[in-house]
């Protein structure tokens, strides 16, 4: 394999698998040799576009195809079982986010991968965006001073009423696990381990059985404060999805442009051209493949994947236990809206 491209199998032929298929075009380190999906027509259609074989189950694909690695693109509730199956067959695994829906299963996968000696990573595309990688270098250089505040927003108006993402039995939750997996991984990338988290839920305007808008408050172990907004029901109409504020400057990572400014100057300095989805997916594949070949280190380790699940599980625990302190200024003592106090509240 050292002189060849890594041979990949895709497990699942849905929307995220389509993104990977696009990224495999002109991919220098890997190629898709098989696609598996219980929906045979979907698997066949994706495989035809990739010029490879299709299968009606991942077990059949594992038995019949010569695979070095797989990318798991199925709904989250299936991740643990599928990943464990391939790890125990000594097949390297890239699992889409969220890695798993609970810490126990995530830790089991990490332990198995370490025991059998195969690569295990989580798909988290924003970590591979060129602008994000450059921004981290700028932050780490110290030119922005001491980092004080991290702000992230992934918000968009999307009708989730008929999508599996809003079915907790399949997805593990709502927008918190869906978009939050990206958010906490990004925060850890810039700031290191996370120490405390608190989550507040907004209105459910789509009448979904899961949370559709949340705000996450985070403290990193180094004392940096973070604020993360996630929503399927509103669009904040922001040019940047990530802003980091330091004692001597600010950096903004945007959809179309990324820039930073030091407090000693009035000029913003552009350093990136924004978010390129195909580039991010392709860089993720290449990093995984090169790690398998022993040519470079994984950007997202198995331990990073576990830490993401730990942060999201802590966030859900916070969401269920959030404590509000009423502001008593003549308002009705029991005034509440949608299960939340109608007054402003102190989180702790």
Transcribe 276-302 into DSSP letters. Answer: -HHHHHHHHHHHHHHHHTTSS--SS-H
| Residue 258, strand partner residues | 272
261-299 residues labelled b (16+ CB within 10 A) or e (exposed): ebeeeeeeeebbebbeeeebbbbbbbbbbbbbbeeeebb
**Phi and psi based region of residue 51 (left: phi greater than 0; alpha: psi -120 to 50; beta: remaining):** left
Q: Beta 336-337 vs 340-341: how paired, if at all?
A: antiparallel
| DSSP structure string for 142-153 | TTT-SEEEEEEE
Does the pLDDT at position 340 exceed 70?
Answer: no
Per-residue pLDDT reduced to its tens digit, 40-63: 999 999 999 999 999 999 999 999
Per-residue pLDDT reduced to its tens digit, 59-80: 999 999 999 999 999 999 999 9
Give the angle subtended at the CA of 169 by the CAs of 164 and 217, to the nearest 5°: 85
218 Cβ contact list (under 8 Å, min separation 6) = 150, 184, 187, 194, 196, 197, 198, 225, 226, 227, 228
Residue 341's pLDDT is 46
Nearest alpha-carbon partner for 189 in 122, 281, 113, 277: 122
Residue 142's pLDDT is 97
Compute the average pLDDT of residues 109-125. 98
Distance CA 172, CA 54 (A): 28
Confidence of residue 334 (pLDDT cuts 50, 70, 90): low
Compute the average pLDDT of residues 293-305. 97
Residue 4's pLDDT is 80
Residue 329's pLDDT is 82
Q: Beta 30-36 vs 53-55: how paired, if at all?
A: parallel
Compute the average pLDDT of residues 32-36. 98
Residue 347's pLDDT is 39
Compute the average pLDDT of residues 278-292. 97
Per-residue pLDDT reduced to its tens digit, 259-278: 999 999 999 999 999 999 99
Residue 5's pLDDT is 94
Does the pLDDT at position 179 exceed 80?
Answer: yes
Distance CA 217, CA 75 (A): 27
Torsional sign, CA 161, 163, 165, 168 = positive
3-state secondary structure of 40: helix
pTM of the model: 0.91
Nearest alpha-carbon partner for 126 in 251, 296, 299: 299
Q: Which two tokens stand for residue 36?
A: 């598996």
Compute the average pLDDT of residues 275-287. 97
Q: Which two tokens stand for residue 136?
A: 């981290």
Q: Which two tokens stand for residue 214?
A: 């949340």
Lowest mean pLDDT among 153-157, 268-272, 312-316, 333-337: 333-337
Does the pLDDT at position 92 exceed 70?
Answer: yes
Distance CA 312, CA 152 (A): 15
Q: What average pLDDT does the structure give for the chain?
A: 94
Residue 323's pLDDT is 80
**H helix and E strand count, the chain:** 11, 16
Contact 195, 166 (CB under 8 A): no
Torsional sign, CA 105, 64, 96, 30 = positive
């Amino acid at each position: 394999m050292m002189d060849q491209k890594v041979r990949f199998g895709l497990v699942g032929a849905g929307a995220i698998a389509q993104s990977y298929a696009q990224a495999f075009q002109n991919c220098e380190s890997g190629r898709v040799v098989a696609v598996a999906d219980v929906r045979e027509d979907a698997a066949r259609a994706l495989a035809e576009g990739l010029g490879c074989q299709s299968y009606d189950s991942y077990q059949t694909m594992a038995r019949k195809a010569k695979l070095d690695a797989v990318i798991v693109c199925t709904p989250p509730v299936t991740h643990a079982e599928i990943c464990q199956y391939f790890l125990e067959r000594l097949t390297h695994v890239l699992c889409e986010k969220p890695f798993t829906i609970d810490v126990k299963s995530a830790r089991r996968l990490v332990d198995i991968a370490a025991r059998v000696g195969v690569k295990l990573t989580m798909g988290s595309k924003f970590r591979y965006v060129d602008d994000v990688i450059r921004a981290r270098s700028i932050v780490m250089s110290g030119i922005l001073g001491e980092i004080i505040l991290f702000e992230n927003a992934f918000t968009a108006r999307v009708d989730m009423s008929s999508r599996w993402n809003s079915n907790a039995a399949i997805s593990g939750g709502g927008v918190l696990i869906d978009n939050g997996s990206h958010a906490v991984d990004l925060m850890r990338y810039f700031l290191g381990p996370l120490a405390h988290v608190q989550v507040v839920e907004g209105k459910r305007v789509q009448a979904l059985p899961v949370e559709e808008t949340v705000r996450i408050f985070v403290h990193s172990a180094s004392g940096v404060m973070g604020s993360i907004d996630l929503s399927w029901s509103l669009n904040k109409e922001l040019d940047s999805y990530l802003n980091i504020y330091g004692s001597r400057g600010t950096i903004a990572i945007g959809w179309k442009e990324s820039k930073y400014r030091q407090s000693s100057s009035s000029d913003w300095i552009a350093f990136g051209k924004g978010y390129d989805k195909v580039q991010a997916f392709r860089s993720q594949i290449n990093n995984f493949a090169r790690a398998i070949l022993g040519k470079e280190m994984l950007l997202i380790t198995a331990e990073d994947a576990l830490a993401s699940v730990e942060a999201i599980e802590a966030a859900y625990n916070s969401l269920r236990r959030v404590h509000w302190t009423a502001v008593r200024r003549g308002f009705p003592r029991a005034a509440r809206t949608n299960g939340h106090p109608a007054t402003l509240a102190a989180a702790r």
